[in-house]
Chains A and B, each alone.
Chain A
Amino acid sequence: MHHVVLERWSRGASPLHRRDPRSKFAALLVFLVVLATAHRALPLLAAAFLLLLAATLLWARVPLAGALRRAALVLPFTLLAGAVCWLGGDPARALSVVLKSYLSALAVLTVVSTTPLPLLLRGLELVGAPRFLLMVAQFLYRYLFVISEEAQHMRSAAASRGFARRSGGFRAAAGALAVLFARSYARAAEIHRAMLARAFPGRFHTLGALRFRAADAAFLALAALAPALIRAAIERLA
C-alpha cells in the first residue's frame, strides 16, 4: 500500500528531516497561503514554486519522481474541476485550480514525507491542537492498515465463495460490514485492556522531547521568506 512508501521516506536523515515538526508545519502554512492568495502571473509563479519544492525534495533526499507521481493523486479531481471551469467560460480559473491544488498537495507531501506522522501530530499538539483528537488520529493511523487487511480478507473470502455477484449481494455486504464493525469494536476493547495492563497513563510518552532550536528558527525564517520573496519578485517582473 501507499503508506509503506511514505513511512520509508519520512524516516530519512537529511537536514530537513531533523527540523522540528512545528517549524515545518508553519513553513507549510506560509507556503500554502502565499500560493492560495496569488493571482497574477500564475503559470510563472507555479513553475518557480515547482522548482522550489523539487529542490527541497532533492535536498531531503526524497525520490523526486515518486513524490511528483504521488502528488498527482489529486489530479483526477482537479482536472475534472478544471474542465468544469473551462466549460463555464473561465480558462484562467481552470488553470489556477489545477496548478494550485497540485502544488499544494506537493507541498503537503514534502512535509509529510520528511516528518514521521507521530512526530507531526506531536508537534501539532504542542501548538495547541486538541490532544484527544490527535490521539484518536494516531490510533486511527496505527490500526488503519490492520483493519483494512481484515476487510480485504473478508472480501476475498466472500469472492472465493462466489458471493459478490449474487442477487443477495447487498445484504451480504451489509452483514460483512456489521461483522467488521463488531470485530473492530472487540479489537478496541482488547487494545484498551492491553494498555491498562501496561499502566497507560492517558497520554503517549515520546522518547526525547521536541526542542525548537536556533536551526529550526533559521529554517522557518528562510522557508517562510522564500515563497513570499519569489512571489513578490515574479509579480513585479510580470
Chain B
Amino acid sequence: MHIYDGFLSTPVWAAMDVAAVPAVGYMVRRAQREFDESRIPLLGVMGAFVFAAQMINFPVGIGTSGHLVGGALLACTLGPAAAGVVLCAIIAIQALVFQDGGILALGPNLINMAILGVLAGYLPYYLWGRTPWRKAAIFLGGALSVMVSAILALAELLVSGVPMSRSVVGVSLALFLVSALLEGAITLAVVQALEAIQPGFVRRPAAGRSFARGALGLAAVVLAAVGFLFASTAPDGIESLGHTTGMDHVRRLFTTPLAGYQLALSGEPWLRKTAAGLAGIAIVYGACLLIGRGVARRGRA
C-alpha cells in the first residue's frame, strides 16, 4: 500500500504533504501527553515489533499466507495517538532505509496509514469495545484499518490521473478486501492470545466518550467511502460527479491530464490545482479543529 515517488501528480502530493504536517504534529503532541518521554523506548520497540511481526506467517488455505500490518493492534494496545506515532516512525524508516515508499509521497503515506488508517482501525473498538460486540469490533477494526488506507491510496492514484480500467480497480479492490479480512482475523487472534498471556496489555476504551474522536474516526471512514465511490466508478464517476453537482471544473481539477502541466506556470490550471490542494488542507484542518475542540471540552468537564 506504500505509494512511491513518481506515482502521484504534483498537486496531490504537495497538498497531502502540507496537510500531513499539522496532522502528524497533533498526533505527536497528543501521544506525548499520554506517554511522557520516559515511555519513548516502548513506542520504538513496539515499532520494531511490527516490523518483525512480518516474519511470522499466518497460513491461510493452501500455500498462501499473510502477515500482520499492525495499525489496529497497536491502537487497541497503546491507544490511537501512540499507535499513530509508531506508524509514522515505521513509515519514515521504511522510506529512508528500506526504499519502501517515497519521500515526497511521505505525506500521503502518513495520512493513509498512520493517521486515517489507525483512526478507522480504532473506531469500532472505541464504539463497541465495552459491549458484547467486542470481538466483532476488534475484527472490524483490523479490517477497516487496511481497507481505509488501501482505498485512500487507490483514490489518490486515480485522482492523480493514473489510468486504471474498471477491471483493474475491481481486482485491486477484491485483493484489498481479502487482505483486510485477513488483517481483521489476525488482529482478533493476536488480541485474544495476548489476553490469555496477560489481560493488562489490551486497553479498555476510555469510558468518557469524546464526541470529537468518534467524529474524526467517522470522517476517516467517510473519506474512505468517498474514495471507494471514486474507485468503483472511475474515471466516469468523477465526471458524473462534476456534472451532477454542476461543478464542471471539479472534473477538470481531478482529471487534468499530463498536458495540463505544460501550462502550469501560465496561470489558470495552476491556480485550480492550488485550490484543490488548499481544499484538501482545509478539510484536514477542519478535522483537527474538531478534535481540538472536543479535547478541550473533555478537559473542562
Residues of A near any B CB (own CB < 8 A): 2-3, 6, 28-29, 32-33, 35-37, 39-40, 70-71, 73-74, 77-78, 81, 84-85, 87-90, 92-93, 96-101, 103-105, 108-109, 112, 117, 120, 130, 132-133, 135-144, 146-148, 150-152, 154-155, 164-165, 169-171, 173-182, 184-185, 187-189, 191-192, 195-196, 202-203
Contact = CB atoms under 8 A, between A and B. Distances in A.
Contact of B59 (A32, A164, A179): A164
Top 3 nearest A-B pairs (CB, nearest first) are A139-B44, A100-B6, A88-B163
Given A180-B53, A184-B49, A130 B25 contact: yes
Most chain B beta carbons < 10 A, residue from A87, A154, A185 = A185
20 contacts: A37-B264, A100-B5, A104-B103, A130-B29, A132-B32, A133-B24, A133-B88, A136-B89, A140-B86, A147-B51, A148-B51, A148-B52, A165-B59, A173-B57, A173-B189, A176-B56, A178-B190, A179-B197, A180-B49, A182-B198
A151 B165 CA distance: 40
Given A130-B29, A148-B48, A188-B42, 10 more contacts: A88-B164, A90-B163, A104-B6, A108-B102, A132-B32, A133-B24, A135-B37, A140-B89, A169-B58, A177-B186
Contact of B55 (A3, A148, A170, A196): A148
A139 B85 CA distance: 13
Contacts of B55: 148, 151-152, 155
Given A136-B86, A171-B189, A184 B258 contact: no
Interface in B94-137: 95-100, 102-104
A196 B39 CA distance: 11
Contact of A178 (B29, B47, B197): B197
Size category, B interface = 35 or more
B45 interface: yes
A2 B7 contact: no
Contacts of A32: 5, 102-104
Contacts of B58: 169-170, 173-174
A188 B6 contact: no
A146 B186 CA distance: 23
Contacts of A202: 37-38
Interface string B27-67: 01101100001111111111111011101111110000000
Given A182-B194, A195-B41, A78 B6 contact: yes
A71 B45 contact: no
B190 A174 contact: yes
A162 to B, nearest CB: 13
Interface of chain A, main secondary structure: helix
A133 B89 contact: yes
A169 B103 CA distance: 38
B210 interface: no
A175 B45 contact: no
Contact of A174 (B28, B47, B95, B189): B189
Given A36-B5, A78-B4, A88-B162, A151 B97 contact: no
B103 A185 contact: no
Contacts of B185: 170
B89 A105 contact: no
A130 to B, nearest CB: 4
A185 B7 contact: no
Contacts of B25: 130
A140 B48 contact: yes
Contact of B97 (A3, A152, A176, A180): A3
A104 B24 contact: no
Given A105-B4, A144-B51, A150-B52, A36 B104 contact: yes
Nearest to B32: A132
Contacts of B207: none
A137 B42 contact: no
B193 interface: yes
Interface string B1-26: 01011110010010000000000110
Nearest to B43: A136
Given A100-B5, A177-B193, A188 B162 contact: no
Contacts of A136: 40, 43-44, 47, 85-86, 88-89
Contact of A101 (B31, B47, B102, B186): B102
B68 interface: yes
A208 B82 CA distance: 31
